[in-house]
């Protein structure tokens, strides 16, 4: 029962262009969503988050959009840089269970110079 899904295992983008990573969820009790970046054999690094009461949150080159009716969120990276190449995980937190994150399977982003 995969409650958080990232259907694209990989994504390749040219440097300077926009990267769009997508995530779908099934549990309507999720009220907080986060994106993490991860390198092999390292811990995930927090990028950006969004509460279910918002539909957009922006931090520098990173913007997260939330569409609650479609149970869909996306991470936009503009402009993409080679240093952005990593695996990106979408995670969701159930209401009143902030210490529990449900992760998607990850999308490997490759930004080519």
Q: Which residue from 59, 38, 47, 28 is spatially nearest to 105, judged by alpha carbons?
A: 38
Distance in Å, CB of 51 to another protein, minimum: 8
Report the residue number, 36 or 80, with the smaller CB distance to another protein.
36
Distance in Å, CB of 105 to another protein, minimum: 5
Indicate the SS3 state at residue 84. helix
Provide the binding-site residues for another protein, judged by CB under 8 A: 32, 34, 36, 41-46, 49, 89, 91, 93, 97-106
């Amino acid at each position: 029962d995969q409650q958080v899904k990232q259907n694209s295992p990989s994504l390749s983008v040219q440097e300077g262009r926009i990267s769009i990573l997508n995530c779908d969820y099934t549990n309507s009790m999720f009220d907080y969503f986060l994106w993490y970046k991860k390198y092999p054999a390292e811990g995930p690094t927090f990028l950006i988050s969004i509460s279910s009461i918002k539909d957009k949150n922006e931090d520098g080159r990173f913007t997260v959009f939330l569409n609650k009716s479609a149970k869909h969120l996306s991470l936009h990276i503009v402009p993409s840089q080679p240093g952005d190449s990593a695996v990106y995980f979408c995670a969701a937190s159930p209401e009143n269970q902030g210490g529990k994150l449900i992760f998607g399977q990850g999308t490997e982003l490759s930004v080519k110079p």
